[in-house]
Amino acid sequence: MAKTLIVGGGVIGLLSAQLLAAQGEEVLLVERQQLGAESSWAGGGIVSLLYPWRYSPAVCALAHWSQAFYPAWGERLRDSTGIDPEVRATGLFWLDLEDEQQALDWAREQGRKLTPVNIEKVAQNVPALGEGFRRALHMPGVANVRNPRLLRALRATLAESANVTVLENTEVSGFLLQAGCVLGVNTSHGELRAERAERAERVVLASGAWSGELLTTLGLELPVEPIKGQMILYKCAEDYLSTMILARGRYAIPRKDGHILVGSTLEHAGFDKAPTNTALASLKASVQELLPALAGAEVVGHWAGLRPGSPEGIPFIGEVAEFPGLWLNCGHYRNGLLLAPASCQLLTDLMLGHTPIVEPTPYAPAGRLG
């Protein structure tokens, strides 16, 4: 009998299912297409906020918890599934920051290692770096994760779980109500409550950029909107780039096998996910600036994803008071992969009545829905 029905098969939905199942809960996960095929797959996988000093304490609290969780999590997934998510601590250089002093003040207050580095030393570490940069800050230990492999490992974990059922290619169009409580969903294949049960005990909405559309069927306004992001991919020698670099809003991320991701754009284009020549030209211009030797190299991948944009990037995690039984875990904006461990653990804590890992009030839907 499925006690929890999760709508959405990205990293948030998958990890929520895994954590609940580990606590003995029966879970039914519903995804409108293939698992992990939306923004979770499309993201860069940096295990850090791009500019942590610019975020609220609420977002930073989830980020710090997740950063500590990732290394051992990656090892456990690799050992249990044979799929290595490649959680690699490469470090990160920020170049020519406008708010460098704010960043240093934040690091000192938070006890984080962030140090100014002579630009000549950066060039020694990153021989391919373009000229013209003047200043740099470095944070060691910042990792990145190979997100498509992370998703494959999570999928394999759920496939081995006797108390998780996954339904792909099943689109949810609305919710089933009884006496004001949410007890299931309407789908392209009919009503889903819980297998061999009258109702699901809980329904979790973890549909990323599509979460707001589903909540409108209940007359609620969730301030989550799709923000399009495009990236390009190069294949280089494995030692071409040893660390992540970020300058003027664009980043380069090295993978273990020599692939390098460069991203990303921020576009308000509704639910349009089509890659564009305009974005391609913009990203190539960033490559020309960051890593000039790549400018003439072949782009082996170019894609777009839709981030679930939310006010201040603070996700919605908790039960919707107006509709008991309906829980949210959505609105992570551009940090879904980073915030997933803490967000899903917090959701699990709240659902099962455990002591929450962080103070839950900033993420509660109460007072944040229209």
CATH architecture, domain 4-44+150-224+312-363: 3-Layer(bba) Sandwich (3.50)
pLDDT tops 50 at residue 18:
yes
Q: Please state, for a pLDDT cut of 70, what percent of the chain lies above it.
A: 98
Say how far apart CA 54 and CA 362 lie, in whole Å. Answer: 17
Say how far apart CA 41 and CA 39 lie, in whole Å. Answer: 5
Order the strands of the 225-235 sheet from edge to edge.
115-117, 136-139, 92-95, 244-247, 250-254, 259-263, 225-235, 301-309
- Structure confidence by residue, pLDDT tens digits, 207-266: 999 999 999 999 999 999 999 999 999 999 988 999 999 999 999 999 999 999 999 999
- When pLDDT is averaged across residues 293-302 and rounded to a whole number, the result is 91
- When pLDDT is averaged across residues 126-130 and rounded to a whole number, the result is 95
- When pLDDT is averaged across residues 155-159 and rounded to a whole number, the result is 97
Say how far apart CA 240 and CA 262 lie, in whole Å. Answer: 14
The domain limits of the chain are 4-44+150-224+312-363, 101-140+226-309
- Structure confidence by residue, pLDDT tens digits, 51-67: 999 999 999 999 999 99
Q: Which pLDDT value is given to residue 295?
A: 84
Instruction: Tell the CATH topology of 101-140+226-309.
Output: D-Amino Acid Oxidase; Chain A, domain 2 (3.30.9)
Q: Which pLDDT value is given to residue 201?
A: 86
- Record the pTM: 0.95
